Amino acid sequence: MASPIEQATALLAIANSTLNSALSFLKSQTVVDGKVSTEKLDDHQLVAYDAAYCAAEISAANVMVGYYQTILADKGDAGAKTEELITLQFAAETLQNCRSRISTRRAGFGFDRASLASTIDSDDIDEFINEHLCAEKMAELAKLVLSHDGHVGDYMLDEEKHMMRDSFKQFAEDIVMPLAEEIHTKDLIIPDEILKPLVELGCFGLSVPMQYGGIQPDDQEDNLGMIVVTEELSRGSLGGAGSLITRPEILSRALLKGGTEEQKQHWLPKLAQAEPLCAVAVTEPNFGSDVAKMSLKATQTEGGWILNGEKTWCTFAGKAGVLMTLARTNSDPKAGHRGLSMFLVEKDATDGHEFNYVQEQGGKLTGKAIPTIGYRGMHSYTVFYDNVFVPDSHVIGGEDGIGKGFYYAMAGFAGGRIQTAARATGVMQAAFEKGLSYAQERVVFDKPIAEYQLTLFKIARMAMLLSVSRQFTYHVARLMDEGKGQMEASLVKLYSCKSSEWLCREAMQIHGGMGYAEESAVSRFYIDSRVLSIFEGAEETLAIKVIARALVEGAE
- Choosing from 536, 539, 540, 556, the catalytic residue is 536
CA distances from 476 to 11, 70, 418, 465, 472 (A): 23, 16, 8, 16, 6
Q: Note whether 165 and 234 are within 8 A (CB).
A: no
Burial of 521 from C-beta contacts in 10 A (0-12 / 13-18 / 19+): buried
Q: Note whether 427 and 504 are within 8 A (CB).
A: yes
Which stretch of DSSP H or E encloses residue 326? strand 322-328
Phi then psi for 41, rounded to 5 degrees? -65, -35
In sequence order, which residues have a C-beta less than 8 Å from that of residue 367 and are 6 or more positions away?
314, 317, 318, 354, 355, 381, 382, 383, 384
CA distances from 547 to 53, 324, 415, 442, 539 (A): 9, 26, 16, 42, 10
405-418 core/surface letters (b: 16 or more CB in 10 A; e: else): bbbbbebbbbbbbb
User: Which amino acid is residue 367, in one-letter code?
Assistant: G
Rg of the chain over Cα atoms, rounded to whole angstroms, equals 24
Q: Note whether 201 and 228 are within 8 A (CB).
A: no
Quick check: is 536 catalytic?
A: yes
Q: Is the peptide bond before 276 cis (omega within 30 degrees of 0)?
A: yes
CB atoms within 10 A of CB 478: 15
What positions carry a catalytic annotation?
A: 536
